[in-house]
Amino acid sequence: MTTVSCVALLCVYSLALTWCLALPRLSPGDGIGGALPVDGAPHEPSSPDVIAARKLHFDPAAPRGAGCARNAHPSPPPQGRYPVRTPPRGDPARPTPRPSTWRRARIARRRRREGGEASTRSRRSTVTVVVVVVGGGSRGGSRRLPGAIIIGVKKAGTRALLEFLRLHPDVQAPGPEPHFFDRNYNRGLDWYRSLMPPTQEGQLTMEKTPSYFITREVPKRVQAMSRDVKLLVVVRDPVTRAISDYVQASSKREGKMKRFEDMALLDHRLGIVNTSWGAVRIGVYTKHLERWFKYFPRDQFHFVSGEQLIEDPAQVMKEVQAFLGLKPFVTDKHFYLNATRGFPCLIKSPENHSKPHCLGKTKGRRHPDVDPRVIERLRDFYRPFNAKLYQMVGRDFGWS
Ligand code: A3P
């Protein structure tokens, strides 16, 4: 091999290596709405039944990606659900530092002196590095900040809506809730973006975190990210929503909670509603929506009826896809009503007659029988707020 070609190969190797090392530094300053290149990571799995698998996928002990040296090593343990930080120097999880450029040049020179075999090996590894880096970057797409967010409401059907949307080939969304604007805001937009699955040009990135709807600081923060983001809100009869919330909370506390009736009312004889209980407060939708309307115009919101999402998911999806500017892909062919559960289940690939897939056991739980007098009292309490909501939104959801 001539000296010239050896030097050329060395240059290619150094360039590839420099590119690899520079990759993590691309994110700061690449701007709101910009894209963070990824290293050929596969697209996020797009079904709820793989949420457990997704957690495994984010397992810090699992090797991720193969392009650059940093990705071939275990990531640091995640602070939240995602491993995002580069481990500090000296951390055992940090990859062993590569020899410096001048040292690599010296090693290469020595190998060349030692004979053909060593130099052949070095040439092979150079080619491998270049192919993996370039190929991975172009195939994986880019991670982008969301163009649409399901901001709420908790227990109204937000998971169902997201999973229905993920049937669409032009939608990509992480399975877990990122909780960026409420709990992780100090981690910055680059962290947020890193949670998003890679998308190709023309695909829509989405996420859902229902607590955004009720968290005071969130509307302003979302606006600071993007004034154009589209906002989806699933609403459900606030009385059944409160019961659903209660069922979820009591399942976590293994039945150690007071009865729903005793949580919802402070005084049964006087019928005083416990407005300090979160499950009741969340259902006063107008109170929360007023805050959002200070930051975004009405036409940037789309309201989904949680009841209609169960009764007629295809119609809901037609309207949601139109609102998001997506082609009408998800239709009645994608739904199958599971009579036992009483909820629609998904048929991911109707053309292949794939098996219906229902949401997990935590969705569509059995509700307790609640004293009808307490239900009636709650209905009276919510009625004026519901009427105001219908006015603000321009739609009657039909809650009695
Ligand atoms: P219940 O468990 O009280 O019935 P969220 O995903 O926002 O937590 O909402 C959960 C609610 O979604 C469930 O409340 C259920 O009523 C509703 N839902 C809507 N479509 C559903 C579906 N296809 N399968 C299961 N639950 C669904």
pLDDT digits (tens, 9 = 90+) for 132-151: 333 333 347 999 999 999 99
Q: Using CA atoms, how far apart are residues 69 and 20, in angstroms rounded to an integer?
A: 7
| Ligand 1 atom 14: residue of nearest CA | 364
Nearest atom (ligand 1) to Cα of 365: 2
Q: Which amino acid is at 63?
A: P
Residue 325 scores a pLDDT above 70 = yes
Here the tokens at position 149 are 């967010």
Closest by alpha carbon to 10, among 135, 136, 129?
129
Residue 83 scores a pLDDT above 80 = no
> Which of 149, 151, 159 for a ligand 1 pocket mutation test, highest count of atoms within 8 Å of Cβ?
159
Q: Identify the pLDDT of residue 340.
A: 86
- Cα 318 to averaged position of ligand 1 atoms, centre (Å): 19
Pairwise pLDDT comparison (137 vs 103), residue with the higher score: 103
Residue 131 scores a pLDDT above 50 = no
| Ligand 1 atom 3: residue of nearest CA | 244
Nearest atom (ligand 1) to Cα of 159: 6
Q: Helix, strand, coil shares of the chain as percentages rounded to 5?
A: 50, 10, 40
Kindly report the pTM of this predicted structure.
Answer: 0.70
Q: Using CA atoms, how far apart are residues 320 and 349, in angstroms rounded to an integer?
A: 20
Q: Using CA atoms, how far apart are residues 188 and 31, in angstroms rounded to an integer?
A: 12
Q: What percentage of the chain carries pLDDT values higher than 70?
A: 65
Residue with tokens 């307790």: 368
Q: Which amino acid is at 246?
A: Y
Here the tokens at position 200 are 């190709």
Q: Using CA atoms, how far apart are residues 377 and 220, in angstroms rounded to an integer?
A: 35
What sign does the dihedral 166-172-176-179 (CA atoms) show?
Answer: negative
Q: Using CA atoms, how far apart are residues 337 and 319, in angstroms rounded to an integer?
A: 20
Lowest mean pLDDT among 4-13, 44-53, 355-364: 44-53
Q: Using CA atoms, how far apart are residues 214 and 151, in angstroms rounded to an integer?
A: 9
Q: Does ligand 1 come within 6 angstroms of the Cβ of 132?
A: no
CB-count exposure of residue 28 (10 Å: 0-12, 13-18, 19+): exposed
Q: Does ligand 1 come within 6 angstroms of the Cβ of 172?
A: no
Closest by alpha carbon to 54, among 360, 354, 343?
360
Q: Identify the pLDDT of residue 140.
A: 76
Closest by alpha carbon to 362, among 252, 255, 232, 283?
252
Nearest atom (ligand 1) to Cα of 158: 7
Closest by alpha carbon to 144, among 170, 106, 108?
170
Q: Using CA atoms, how far apart are residues 265 and 269, in angstroms rounded to an integer?
A: 9
Decide: helix, strand or coil at residue 99.
coil
Q: Does ligand 1 come within 6 angstroms of the Cβ of 158?
A: yes
Q: Does ligand 1 come within 6 angstroms of the Cβ of 344?
A: yes
